[in-house]
Amino acid sequence: MFESPGNIKSPANIELKSNVEYLMLRHDSPNDIQNLIINFCEKYDHFKEKSASGIFVIAVGGAEATAKTYLVNEFKKLLRDRIHIIVLAMDDYLKLSRKERKEKVDTLRERGTMSDEDLLVYEIGNAPSLTDFESLKKNINELKEGKPIIKNIYNHTDGNIIKNREEVGPVKEGILFVEGIFALKDELDGIADLNIFVYSAEEKKSQRVARRDSVERGHGDYLANKYFLEAQIPSYRRHIEPTIGNADVIIDTTNLFD
């Protein structure tokens, strides 16, 4: 099922793990996801044999518009009759709402301490400093200990953060997916039992962002393209692409959709 990651171009100073597994998902091969599910189940069974914890943590990272959320939802749908699935979306751990970020950007711009590129990366929430890694790690550990958590929900339509809205758990055993662009960052090193980096070619990401951010997130065509070219690409190359070096599995979704 897995092939050599020869067509994945990692940064020159980042080496892939020697035993990294690679899978290309194709729209004309529905068995690809089924095979991936089988692979996850085998890893989960192996984990249960060796671990005292009943919660198998899978981190799913990579750039925007690589179909991370889609894949996690597919995994949840296909596994729900066999394994209890929990999903933590890292967007729910943003420290500031869209309005708060824009207000902070205005202040930072007046101070002149950040470049225009950095300000735009900050505005769209792609600066790692805007993610509450400590709260996320605390919640993951609580779930692994069989405790319930109460977390925020980030609304992508209006950019608001609804505080303490969702209760998750308690769960004695199952798979916990932690999904987000920074899921493989060093700040979460050691928290996951399996690290997955989701990759797509840049032109496909551009097409998906145009559809998603323009309509679903209400940015319009101009802002969607501006954010992608001037913020998401620089953020990816600086903060996200290097995390491919932490991946146990690389999933190429370039050809996932027709």
81-133: pLDDT as tens digits:
889 999 999 999 999 999 999 999 999 999 998 999 999 999 999 999 999 99
Let me know if residue 7 belongs to a domain: no
Let me know if residue 10 belongs to a domain: no
How far apart are the C-alpha atoms of 57 and 85, rounded to whole Å? 10
User: What CATH number is attached to the domain comprising 88?
Assistant: 3.40.50.300
Residue 5 confidence (pLDDT) above 70: no
Let me know if residue 1 belongs to a domain: no
pLDDT in tens, 17-32: 999 999 999 988 888 9
Residue 166 confidence (pLDDT) above 50: yes
Residue 6 confidence (pLDDT) above 90: no
- How would residue 1 be classed by pLDDT, with cut points 50, 70 and 90? very low
pLDDT at 226: 80
Query: In terms of residue numbers, what domain contains 137?
Result: 21-252
pLDDT at 2: 43
Report the 3 state secondary structure along the chain.
CCCCCCCCCCCCCCCCCCCCEEEECCCCCCHHHHHHHHHHHHHHHHHHHHCCCCEEEEEEECCCCCCHHHHHHHHHHHHCCCCCEEEEEHHHHECCCHHHHHHHHHHHHHHCCCCHHHHHHHHCCCCHHHECHHHHHHHHHHHHCCCCEEEEEECCCCCCEEEEEEEECCCCCEEEEEECCCCCCHHHCCCCCEEEEEECCHHHHHHHHHHHHHHHCCCHHHHHHHHHHHHHHHHHHHHHHHHHHHCCEEEECCCCCC
**1-10, 172-181, 205-214, 230-239, range with greatest mean pLDDT:** 172-181
Question: Based on the structure, what is the number of domains in the chain?
Answer: 1
Let me know if residue 257 belongs to a domain: no
- How would residue 218 be classed by pLDDT, with cut points 50, 70 and 90? low
pLDDT at 11: 63
Cα 56 vs. chain centroid, distance in angstroms? 17
Let me know if residue 142 belongs to a domain: yes
Residue 142 confidence (pLDDT) above 80: yes
Report, as an integer, the average pLDDT of 151-179: 95
| Window from 38-42, 104-108, 179-183, 221-225 with minimum mean pLDDT | 221-225
How far apart are the C-alpha atoms of 138 and 141, rounded to whole Å? 5
Residue 251 confidence (pLDDT) above 90: yes
Let me know if residue 12 belongs to a domain: no
Indicate yes or no: pTM above 0.75: yes
Let me know if residue 14 belongs to a domain: no
| Window from 48-62, 141-155, 183-197, 218-232 with minimum mean pLDDT | 218-232
Let me know if residue 258 belongs to a domain: no
Of the chain, the percentage scoring pLDDT greater than 90 comes to 71
Averaged pLDDT of the chain: 90
